[in-house]
Amino acid sequence: MAELKIGLVSVSDRASSGVYEDKGLPALAEWLAGALLTPFSLEQRLIPDEQPQIEATLKQLVDECGCQLVLTTGGTGPARRDVTPDATLAVADRVMPGFGEQMRQISLHYVPTAILSRQTGVIRGDSLILNLPGQPKSIKETLEGVKDADGKVVVHGIFASVPYCIQLLDGPYIETRPEVVAAFRPKSALKPKE
């Protein structure tokens, strides 16, 4: 079975030019380290809000680096420079609209401006590309979902569906720490216990 390779892309004019420190890549890497039981390697990129560069980066991570999952952070709002979803759709073979719908659903529990987000999910080749929010707190919320005071999931996070999606794309079998996010699969797709 192929090793799990994950591409992380932080899209920010200011962070990529050194005006301030990027928080997206460290937040994603830390979350993945805490959530995944499956060993994985990371390919990380910090780039400006330039559509051709975002497109080229996504293509490189999927086509050349062989990442089965690519997570972007930043550039998903309505401002003119927010072109991450546009670049993502431009390199897509198929759109997975449920991911964007669910991210907005989760974020609406926290802020009314969640409807301004243009986050999306797509498939390129055998890889899943997901546009996440820019703030570390929002990244965690969209990946894990909305939980009540006892830690019970009220609204599922998007990562609950990612392992099965990767599996359907003939990628590696991904296992998560259920206390962070429980990966959901139909019984027929579960790996037999050893």
Cβ atoms of 38 and 174 within 8 Å: the answer is yes
Beta strands in 25-118 (DSSP E): 40-47, 69-73, 94-95
Residue 179 corresponds to which amino acid? Answer: E
pTM of this structure: 0.95
List the structure tokens of 28: 């994603």
Domain 4-189 indexed as CATH 3.40.980.10: yes
The average pLDDT across 122-130 equals 98
Backbone phi and psi for residue 88, each to the nearest 5 degrees, phi listed first: -65, -45
The answer to whether 60 and 97 are in contact (CB under 8 A) is no
Residue carrying structure tokens 């591409």? 7
**pLDDT tens column, 142-188:** 999 999 998 888 999 999 999 999 999 999 999 999 999 999 998 88
Q: What is the pLDDT of residues 66-122, one digit of tens each?
A: 999 999 999 999 999 999 999 999 999 999 999 999 999 999 999 999 999 999 999
Average pLDDT over residues 125-142: 95
CA distance from start to end of the chain: 16
Angle between helices 97-107 and 136-144 (to 10 degrees): 110
- Sheet containing strand 4-11, strands side by side: 40-47, 4-11, 69-73, 127-132, 121-124, 94-95
pLDDT score recorded for residue 19: 84
The predicted pLDDT at position 194 comes to: 63
| Tens digit of each residue's pLDDT (9 = 90 or more) over 13-64 | 888 888 888 999 999 999 999 999 999 999 999 999 999 999 999 999 999 9
- Full DSSP string of 117-168: ----EEEETTEEEEEE-SSHHHHHHHHHEEE-TTS-EEEE-GGGTHHHHHHH
